């Protein structure tokens, strides 16, 4: 079992309720110019509640809103202010459920800055594009104490909870470096188990930790600049 990415204790309390079980994968289809199509795949969704009435209520509480695009993931995307429509596809509407939600962001750094802010975590994101090379840096800063009212909770926190199931897929070119990422085949980058464990330690020690991902186009391809 992978080590789950930790979140502030106040936020963790909001996630303690509920018995829904599911396999969640976040895939960010990254273009060399730094734009992303973010897809969340929630498969095998079911409740392990023993009481039949509570189990049915909990499962309907998931699939009912999903059928009209008003489930937690869709709300989380909308809270991030995407640059495209939030689209929901219900692949399976019977238990266990399968739902795919996606949207578009013109800049990956803006998406992650809004993610950090919405989850009440200090940090920043920076996207740099230079010729045929691009780089994305995401800083999680656990040093300062969150200001009163900063921690918002809600659907954005649910997205951050699944950070260890996040992967980037490059639409063109190749990844050439990944600080905190495993890069198995130059087209995919997955947050490493070691980074997840280091992030948990960084939160405990109240210090900052960074994720870095660098890519470049194949030789002879056009510039990444728009």
In order along the chain (226 residues), what is the average pLDDT of each group of 10 residues? 41 50 94 94 95 94 96 94 97 97 96 90 91 92 68 70 85 91 90 91 92 85 46
Boundaries of domain holding 73? 1-217
In a domain, 166, yes or no: yes
Q: Are strands 20-30 and 166-170 parallel, antiparallel or unpaired?
A: parallel
pLDDT value, residue 16: 42
pLDDT value, residue 9: 39
Write the CB contacts of 38 (distance below 8 Å, at least 6 apart in sequence). 26, 27, 28, 29, 77, 82, 102, 103, 104, 105, 111
pLDDT value, residue 87: 98
Is residue 153 within 8 Å of 77, Cβ to Cβ?
no
What H or E segment, with its residue span, contains residue 111?
A: helix 108-118
In a domain, 224, yes or no: no
Residue with tokens 């204790």: 9
Domain count, the chain: 1
pTM: 0.84
Token digits for 52?
A: 């039949």
Four-residue CA torsion sign, 25, 30, 34, 38: negative
pLDDT value, residue 139: 96
In a domain, 226, yes or no: no
In a domain, 50, yes or no: yes
pLDDT value, residue 147: 56
pLDDT value, residue 163: 76
CA distance 41 to 80: 18
pLDDT value, residue 218: 75
pLDDT value, residue 75: 94
What H or E segment, with its residue span, contains residue 76?
A: helix 72-79
In a domain, 225, yes or no: no
pLDDT value, residue 18: 52
pLDDT value, residue 15: 40
In a domain, 140, yes or no: yes
Q: Which of 113, 141, 161 is nearest to 209 (CA)?
A: 141
């Amino acid at each position: 079992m992978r080590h789950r990415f930790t979140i502030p204790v106040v936020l963790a309390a909001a996630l303690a309720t509920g018995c829904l079980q599911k396999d969640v994968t976040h895939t960010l289809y990254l273009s060399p110019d730094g734009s992303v199509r973010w897809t969340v795949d929630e498969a095998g969704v079911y409740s392990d509640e023993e009481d039949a009435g509570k189990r049915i209520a909990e499962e309907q509480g998931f699939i009912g809103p999903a059928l009209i695009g008003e489930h937690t993931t869709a709300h989380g995307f909308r809270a991030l202010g995407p640059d495209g429509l939030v689209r929901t596809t219900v692949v399976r509407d019977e238990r266990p459920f399968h739902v795919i939600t996606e949207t578009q962001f013109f800049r990956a750094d803006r998406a992650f800055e809004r993610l950090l802010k919405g989850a009440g975590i200090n940090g920043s994101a920076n996207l740099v594009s230079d010729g045929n090379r691009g780089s994305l840096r995401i800083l999680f800063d656990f040093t300062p104490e969150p200001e009163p009212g900063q921690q918002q909770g809600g659907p954005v926190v649910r997205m951050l909870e699944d950070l260890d199931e996040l992967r980037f897929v490059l639409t063109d070119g190749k990844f050439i470096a990944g600080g905190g990422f495993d890069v198995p085949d130059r087209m995919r980058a997955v947050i490493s188990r070691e980074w997840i464990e280091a992030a948990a330690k960084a939160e405990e020690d109240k210090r900052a930790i960074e994720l870095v991902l660098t890519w470049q186009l194949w030789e002879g391809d056009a510039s990444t600049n728009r």
